[in-house]
Amino acid sequence: MNRPSPASAPSQDRSERTYAIGRHIVSVEHLEAGLHIVATPIGNLGDVTLRALAALAGADLIACEDTRVTRKLLDRYGIHTPLTPYHDHNAAEARPKLLRRLGEGAALVLVSDAGTPLVSDPGYKLVRAAQDAGHSVTALPGASAVLAALAVAGLPTDEFLFAGFLPPKAGARRARIARLARIPATLVFFETGPRIAATLADLAAGLGQQRDAALCRELTKLHEEVRRGDLATLAAHYATEEPRGEIVLVIGPPAAAEQPSAEDADALLRDALARTSLKAAVAEIAATTGLPRRQIYQRALALGKDAEGDRAEHSDEAR
């Protein structure tokens, strides 16, 4: 039989709402009615916020992905709030029951196994349903694996796209990578150890061998590791080594293409107009140069007028 930790040893009635930090017991008020989205640590249990502890202790019920995982956090801080599972496999059945509790005026907390709820979990459907039913929904921010990885990757953070998990099947994964290749932002993915070698190989092929990246593993935990390099280097390293633990992969934005000069763009456009229609020429030059289609279209019209003027001038001279 598991022995309770010192923080969780005292038995509590639900009228006594407290949490414990070491030997210090903190009393909290009953949480206000509504749905509260609470971020939990992504690894190190010391990363929980005081506001999160007060909400967990003051709630009537905590909805979580895996009750065994969340129970470890509650035991660490001497919290005895009831738990109920809410995850991908039972969400359709569990959601109406949670909404019914909200309708009765309950204070409900939603957590994920680690980090901020609604990031790669089914929580958004519960949030939307609660809002549609007129219930209050509030967020208690805290740890996020996405933001933690961005903080230590050493890559641009002014624009980034979180793309979750790539598809496990090779064909779908490569197609998804192709759609992401042109996005001018840092990309962030979750991945598993058994799939990381294939994923890195496909990313190197689809995004470019020299694209900067960082593989962040076991963030905030004892064996935290951040390995940086271009995609080719990381793919070669993990082709023979399967990393353990939770993985966040951060990939820097594509290198900015050098804009062609106005003269070069005009030359390309004239050549395209001589071979194909105006619409097709504009599309071709936009793809080649990265210039906006509207700009290219306006320039094509101007070049057309210049050509008409030249023809008219030659005609006048001939007469």
Identify whether residues 54 and 28 lie together within a single domain: yes
Sign of the CA dihedral running 156, 183, 180, 287: negative
Indicate the range of 128-137, 194-203, 275-284, 297-306 predicted with least confidence: 297-306
In this predicted model, what pLDDT tens digit does every residue of 143-189 receive, in sequence order? 999 999 999 999 999 999 999 999 999 999 999 999 998 899 999 99
Task: Give percent above pLDDT 70 in the chain.
Answer: 89
For residues 236 and 271, state if they share a domain: no
Considering the domain boundaries, does residue 150 fall inside one? yes
Specify the number of domains making up the chain.
3
- CATH code for the domain of 223: 3.30.950.10
Instruction: Indicate the residue among 82, 111, 143 that finishes a domain.
Output: 143
The predicted model gives 57-73 an average pLDDT of 97
Question: What pLDDT, on a 0 to 100 scale, did the predictor assign at position 312?
Answer: 43
Model confidence pLDDT, tens digit, residues 13-24: 456 899 999 999
Q: Are residues 177 and 277 in the same domain?
A: no
- pLDDT, mean of residues 130-148: 97
Whether 16 and 40 map to the same domain: the answer is yes
> Where does a domain end: 92, 118, 143?
143
Residue 47 counted as domain residue: yes
What does the block give as tokens for 156? 């641009």
User: Is 42 within 8 Å of 148 (Cβ atoms)?
Assistant: yes
Within a domain: 313: no
Residue at token pair 């050098």:
258
Q: Do 15 and 131 belong to one domain?
A: yes
97 vs 93: CA distance, rounded Å: 8
Other beta carbons less than 10 A from residue 4's beta carbon = 12
pLDDT attached to residue 140: 98
Higher pLDDT, 86 or 123: 86
- Contact between 125 and 95 under an 8 Å Cβ cutoff? The reply is yes
- The mean predicted confidence, pLDDT, of the chain is 89
Instruction: Confirm whether 38 is domain-assigned.
Output: yes
**Predicted local distance difference test score (pLDDT) of residue 306:** 56
Query: Burial letters for 24-34: b for 16+ Cβ neighbours within 10 Å, e otherwise?
Result: eeeebeebebb
Quick one: 220 and 274 in the same domain? no
Asked, for residue 125, whether it belongs to a domain, the answer is yes
Residue 9 scores a pLDDT above 50: no
286 within a domain of the structure (yes/no): yes
Mean pLDDT of 67-83: 97
Q: Degrees (nearest 5) of the Cα angle 6, 12, 15?
A: 145
Average pLDDT for residues 188-195, to the nearest whole number?
97
User: Quick one: 222 and 163 in the same domain?
Assistant: yes
Q: Do residues 109 and 89 touch, judged by C-beta distance below 8 A?
A: no
Edge-first strand order for the sheet with 83-85 is 83-85, 61-64, 107-110, 34-38, 137-140
172 and 242 in a common domain: yes
Decide if pLDDT at 8 tops 50.
no
* Residue where a domain stops, chosen among 113, 143, 173: 143
pLDDT for the residue 224: 97
Q: Could you tell me the CA-to-CA distances from 124 to 69, 87, 164 in Å, in that order? A: 21, 11, 15
Most confidently predicted of 220-234, 248-262, 276-290: 220-234
Q: Is the pLDDT of residue 318 over 80?
A: no
Give the per-residue pLDDT at 15.
64
28 vs 275, higher pLDDT: 28
Range of the domain at 211: 146-251
Task: Indicate the pTM of the whole model.
Answer: 0.75
Give residue-wise pLDDT tens across range 260-311: 778 888 888 888 888 889 998 888 888 777 788 899 999 899 887 654 444 4
Name the H helices within 143-183. 145-153, 170-180
**Coil/strand/helix, residue 27:** strand
Beta strands 24-27; 18-21: pairing state: antiparallel
Residues 300, 215 share a domain:
no
CB 156 within 8 A of CB 186: yes
Q: 32: domain CATH number? A: 3.40.1010.10
Query: 16 with 54, same domain?
Result: yes
Check whether 3 has a pLDDT greater than 90: no
Position 133 pLDDT exceeds 50 = yes
> 26 with 138, same domain?
yes
In a domain, 317, yes or no: no
Whether residues 36 and 134 share a domain: the answer is: yes
Is residue 311 in some structural domain?
no
